[in-house]
Structure 1
């Protein structure tokens, strides 16, 4: 009986998620239908059948009105910018494996981040979401990046969203620095702390310290954002603006962005370039001094001879 109850609960969650998705699609279709009816009513008017003379006069007046008013009505009522904005908000998501109840199978590997838990949406506290992102408590992901001790070596970082009271708490922990987590009140600040540690460990600035927390944590990834948006409680997030998602036909995950603040390989290229540049600068600075020493030595040899 307990197994049956668990299965029924899972089916209920799955059906609720599908219901939310269908409601969103129905709202979009209704808006498009209202928009089309406004365009049709602006461009066409019903004919009159009272008499032949009146109908011909009205037809001519209708033609004049259509010829003069239709371009303006189309400009006002068609609203092409709104429809283009709707198409641009669509984000491509990659297909992920699902269990028999339709829930995602964890961990979800996305190329850069690997998501282990979506967490729970907190809708009664406004700081736990913005217009673009939702920060579920219990969200957990991992990512391979440069070590805090030696950025040229790989390290696995665990990224979490914790309950911080009125606002969420973001945490990044290295697998070799479990006792020294990086904690901040925003994902960008937390990621910025990590990048500053990387620069300090190398001794030169090899990466821009401007944080990209949502990308590093992974909750800005379209696939994860779609799953979080489909979670219970998101409808009550008043400030969040819903996005439209579409499954990628290729089925392949997008390539990791070539950014040294997110990719380990890009970080290694930045470190190698910065070190070679520093060596060249030192050689240029040392070259005049060496020339002076050589000239002094040759002058001394001439005097001695």
Structure 2
């Protein structure tokens, strides 16, 4: 299972240090917050990580939120993926990878074999994971994130997000419109034409065929053939879009700079602007149903 990065652009991330990232569990957006508000104890949660430069990890308990910060490793963590009910992996700057196998109560750092900043991570199943990052970095794991192996990406462009539809088929997106696709579980990757030079920040698939990528200048791209080809969609905004998530095959939401929220009700064919009531940039969005 992949999860969109909780990540300001690198130029803005310094301002986010020592701040918490907060997220609802009922399908909401991520914004920087200077304090932690209590969460309703009726919510159900397997594991959730709130990340800053010193790694703030939270595991939900029956009585609310509990501190889980055993590893102040000093590097920002910017993306997380849940492999199964117990195992999650978070990635970040300088090749940092941390992993939990007890639903977020304890975290351990694992070797990535790289010092490149990692920007996205996705699990196709509980064992098969892929992380992407700067300078075309792609890492793969076949043991639920315990160990990671570098893969040849065929590009030096920064990669920001990755999404797998099954154990074999995955798509990564990044700078200058880069889109890479694998059909063999990440062993090899091929560049796909995107038709844009805008940086792509997030990619999400609702099934094996239907996918959406968003990025700079309000860019929205859509594929209906599993990422082989991409078509630009009309966007109601020119603001940078940082994250996209779908509730189902029809309903999706993307968020971005200056509190931008855009929504589709027809599988990414058309998009409409929504009011967010905030001028604060939104860096992540996720829906559970």
Q: In which range does the TM-score fall when normalised by the shorter chain?
A: under 0.3
Where is the strand percentage greater, Structure 1 or Structure 2?
2
TM-score (norm 2): 0.25
Higher relative contact order (CA 8 A, sep 6+): 1
Greater fraction helix: 1
